[in-house]
Amino acid sequence: MPDNVMNTHVMTVSELNRLAREVLEQSFPLFWVSGEVSNFVRAASGHWYFSLKDQGAQVKCVMFKGRNSYVDFTPREGDKIEARATVTLYEARGDFQLTVEFVQKAGLGALFEAFEKLKAKLAHEGLFDAAYKQAIPTNPLTIGIVTSPDAAALRDVLTTLKRRNPNIKVIIYPTPVQGKSAAQLIAKAIHAASKRAEVDTLIICRGGGSMEDLWQFNEEVVARAIDDCPIPTISGVGHETDFTICDFVADMRAATPTAAAELACADIRVLKNQIVNLQNRLNKQINFLLNQTAQKLDFLARRLISPAQQIENRATQIKQLQHRLNLAFQQNMQTNQHRLLRLSSSIEQLNPNAVLARGYAIVHSEVSQNDLLNPKSAELIIDAQQITPESRLNITFYKGSAKAQVISVKKST
């Protein structure tokens, strides 16, 4: 606000607090602040109200329900925490306060930095590469578990494995999962499982906890042991929202230890149902093939004839052919006989003797002495114009012949 306005305008308290809030919010972007929790109150609305203090000062804080629902712990009196917040002013009372967006236990910032640094290093070396991850066996005979023998996670895994498939053998590689030198002991248990090579799948698990509780599974020695393990590995560390380096290196990540057990083996009830379905399909296919084969056999059986029956059929066919041949021969002979009779009748009718026998005669001119040696010189008389009176003729009768001399000739007109 310009100075001349500030000097002449009399502001209300509401205006003053609003201007102060705007100045504070514009001057302080989102930042981190650490301190000790004091006067913590969870309101009925779900909002958190508390103060952060150090040896010299304190500041009021509010964390609304929509933000604190993402925090996995509830601050208590005296807890050292780090809060990411913005500065504001609660205008109704004129209280200077912080609006907190996220809180974590003090020191987690360094852990997150170490986590991201190791994660980037191992990713660069290819330890997270999906191309090198092994497939988890579908039906393992033996499953190994790397965890604390006193952990609730182990009981959850064993209960789940027994429920899903009680026939699977389980081998436990006991190791502390929290405390000093736990990371080296976890890595040692993984190496022992690799060396003994007696399991088909190896589950590495523990229950949920804070980032400090799960930190052993963010150590490089554990990551190297998992990467060197020739056995397919499943990481089941913490809860669904927890992620560790172990999750990225393992061949498969499970949200919880129970989920890891479910991923490690198939449910025997599902397998039984699959077997029943396969059996039904197999029976159906076998029955179908048997029916098809039976029909084919019936068809072939109808076509199949015994040798004796074949001989009998051939004999019958020969008899039929012989009968047909006899009929054809007789018919052919009768046809030729009829034809021969017709030809004989025709020849008989054309025989000159037959004509002569009916009273006709053949007349030739008489052959001269000079043509005695040439019978063809005798001329057949068929017309009266061929002869003249005094012509000499030879007359042939049916029986015998005669010579005659023409007395007169009567020519047709």
CA-CA distance, 383 to 292, in Å (whole number)? 97
The pLDDT, as a whole number, for residue 243 is 85
CA-CA distance, 34 to 81, in Å (whole number)? 6
Residue pLDDT tens, the chain, 413 long:
555 555 667 888 888 888 888 888 787 888 889 898 899 999 999 999 999 998 889 999 999 998 888 887 888 888 888 899 988 888 888 888 999 998 888 766 667 778 888 889 999 999 999 998 999 998 899 999 999 998 889 999 999 999 999 999 999 999 999 888 899 999 999 999 999 999 999 999 998 877 778 889 999 999 999 999 999 999 999 887 778 999 999 999 998 999 999 999 999 888 889 899 999 999 999 999 999 998 888 888 777 777 888 888 889 999 999 999 999 999 999 999 999 998 888 887 777 787 788 888 889 888 765 555 555 567 888 888 888 888 899 998 888 989 999 898 887 76
The pLDDT, as a whole number, for residue 90 is 84
The pLDDT, as a whole number, for residue 72 is 78
Phi and psi angles of residue 8, each rounded to the nearest 5 degrees, phi first = -100, -25
CA-CA distance, 143 to 135, in Å (whole number)? 14
Give me 153's structure tokens: 């996670």
The pLDDT, as a whole number, for residue 231 is 96
Phi and psi angles of residue 102, each rounded to the nearest 5 degrees, phi first = -155, 145
Phi and psi angles of residue 197, each rounded to the nearest 5 degrees, phi first = 50, 50
CA-CA distance, 89 to 15, in Å (whole number)? 12
Question: 194, 97, 119, 326: which is closest to 83 by C-alpha?
Answer: 97
The pLDDT, as a whole number, for residue 321 is 93
The pLDDT, as a whole number, for residue 344 is 84
